[in-house]
Amino acid sequence: MQARPQIYAQSEPQGASMSTKRDHNTVSIAVADKNPIVRAGLFDYIARDERFVVREMVDSGSEFISVCERHRIEVGVIGWGLPDMTGGDVLRAVKRRNLPTRVIVYTGDFSPAVLREAVKSGAWGVTSKADDPLVLIDTISSVYQGRMSIPFVDISALMSDPLENLTVREKELLRALANGWTNEQIATRIGISRNTVKYHLKNLYEKIGANNRAMAVAMYLSSGPDRF
């Protein structure tokens, strides 16, 4: 059996065009990720496929958007946590500008909250950094051909608002988190023990698909705090 090619970190190619050896029938790719090792690995792996040519490698969302405005980028691959914006911000900017680039989110955070925001914001594909790189290659091919490539999940659940079904107490806790209250302050002001606060917060995070306090607050703020 032939051994599967291995990915080696390497210095990123320099210049406006990352690769020029392919003809005009290849798919133009742009990559945005904050990690230079990830960018180098993606360039190395994607460039091996004769169907694709990597045109640009950048480390921020604003640079990615600029690249898509200047060049004919057919498929973009972006990390979720870029230095200047989230993947959701990038997807919404691409949509607002009516850019033709079909964007794939390539993320290490495969939580329901990220999947939900990616789908609602217009991602054509979502893949995990924990998957075999061949999954990303297949996703790029599918997306270029006009097929969305999303993990097998309940799409109706992803499209629903996770904050809709919160109890009065859970909404109260979420507002407290957004106001910067500590667990001790929440316990004192609401009149419950700190252990009870921890219990309620754990249930709240699971219910809305948040990994931590910061993600829960971000979801609350993005949904429009005036609704509570």
pTM here is 0.64
Sequence ranges of the domains in the chain: 27-158, 168-227
Top-ranked range on mean pLDDT: pick from 25-39, 139-153, 166-180, 202-216: 25-39
Helices marked H in 71-193: 87-96, 112-121, 133-144, 155-159, 168-178, 183-190
pLDDT at residue 109 in the model: 77
Q: What is the CATH number of domain 27-158?
A: 3.40.50.2300
Kindly indicate the confidence band of residue 21, based on its pLDDT and cuts at 50, 70 and 90: very low
Over residues 144-180, the pLDDT tens digits come to 999 999 876 545 555 566 677 788 888 888 889 988 9
Sign of CA dihedral 75, 140, 96, 220: negative
pLDDT at residue 37 in the model: 94
Q: What is the CATH number of domain 168-227?
A: 1.10.10.10
Using the predicted structure, report yes or no on whether residue 22 has a pLDDT greater than 90.
no
Helix (H, G, I), strand (E, B) or coil at 51: coil
Over residues 6-15, the pLDDT tens digits come to 333 333 443 3
Over residues 178-200, the pLDDT tens digits come to 889 999 999 998 888 989 988 88
Give the H or E element holding residue 104: strand 102-107
Q: What's the rounded Cα separation, in Å, for the pair 216 and 210?
A: 5
